[in-house]
Chain A
Amino acid sequence: MIGAEHFLIVSAILFAVGVTGALISRNLIMIFMAVEIMLNAANLAFIAFARIHGDMSGHVIVFLTLTVAAAEAAVGLGLIMTLYRRRGSVDASKFNIMKW
């Protein structure tokens, strides 16, 4: 039977996918999506733990973090748009005006 542990495993895998994606991807939109996956992995973990402990606060926390993620997404996409208008590219490896 599927228990809460399975959700935790999925959440850990999602988190790993997110971290890997954010580290290896070169497209800003992809990096951004990977980061969103990380946040959602945390949400899934919160829900799974809330179920294990029989505690409602985990569910509430997910509401809050979803809102935060939405606000972050709005600002992030705005920044990416500005950059795209200036440069015509969303390739992260091209953004290197400043060096050591």
Chain B
Amino acid sequence: MDYFFVALFVGMAFALVGGGLAISYLVAPNRPNKVKSQPYECGEHTVGPSWVHFNVGYYLFALLFLVFDVEAAFLYPWALVFREFGLIALFEVGIFIVILLFALVYAWKKGVLEWV
């Protein structure tokens, strides 16, 4: 019985999207020309290939974010048990954060944080 509604929703989703596409296909006039069938770029002519490279800066930021983001996840369970464990937990998480800090200082000094 639980799945009935799921199935209903799936069916409705398909019907809605499919119906929209079908109606526009049946009703809309179709007169393509060269300019119209170009990839949409605000009415301008496309410049250069579409496979442009992103600035490498994004990549470095992403790496830093990835590392710090995942590490930060450890602080939540720690915060939950911190009171029971007391000082030793504070000490250990201190080591953890200092190591992360080292990583940040290293990245900073290497010039990763500057936008080039």
Chain A residues near B (Cβ < 8 Å) = 1, 60, 63, 66-67, 70-71, 73-74, 77-78, 81
CB distance from A55 to the nearest CB of B (A): 16
Q: A63-B74, A63-B77, A66-B73 are in contact. Are A71 and B59 (CB under 8 A)?
A: no
**CA A15 to CA B99, docked complex, whole Å:** 33
Is B66's CB under 8 angstroms from A70's CB? Answer: yes
Q: Say whether A81 contacts B59, CB under 8 Å.
A: yes
Q: Is the interface of B mostly helix, strand, loop or mixed?
A: helix
Tell yes or no: B101 within 8 A of A by CB: no
0 or 1 for each of B45-81: is its CB under 8 Å from A? (1 = yes): 0000000000010010001001101110110010000
> Which 7 A-B residue pairings sit nearest by Cβ, starting from the closest?
A70-B70, A74-B63, A67-B70, A70-B66, A74-B67, A74-B66, A66-B70
The docked-state distance in angstroms from the alpha carbon of A96 to that of B56 is: 27
Whether B77 pairs with A67 at a CB distance below 8 angstroms is no
SS of A interface (majority): helix
* B residues contacting the other copy or chain, number (CB 8 A): 12
Bound CA span A71–B66, Å: 8
A-B contact pairs, 17 of them (CB 8 A): A1-B2, A60-B77, A63-B74, A67-B71, A67-B73, A67-B74, A70-B67, A70-B70, A73-B66, A74-B63, A74-B66, A74-B67, A77-B59, A77-B63, A78-B63, A81-B56, A81-B59
> Do A63 and B66 touch (CB < 8 A)?
no
Residues of the B chain whose Cβ atoms lie less than 8 Å from the Cβ of A60: 77
Bound: A1/B67 CA distance, A: 38
Which residues on the B side are within 8 Å of A77 (C-beta)? Answer: 59, 63
How far does the alpha carbon of A81 sit from the alpha carbon of B58 in the complex, in Å? 13
Beyond contacts A74-B66, A77-B59, A81-B59: 7 other A-B pairs, Cβ-Cβ < 8 A, are A70-B66, A70-B67, A73-B66, A74-B63, A74-B67, A77-B63, A78-B63
Q: In the complex, what distance in Å separates the CA atom of A30 from the CA atom of B25? A: 36
Residue of B nearest to A74 (CB): B63
CA distance A74 to B59 in the complex (A): 10
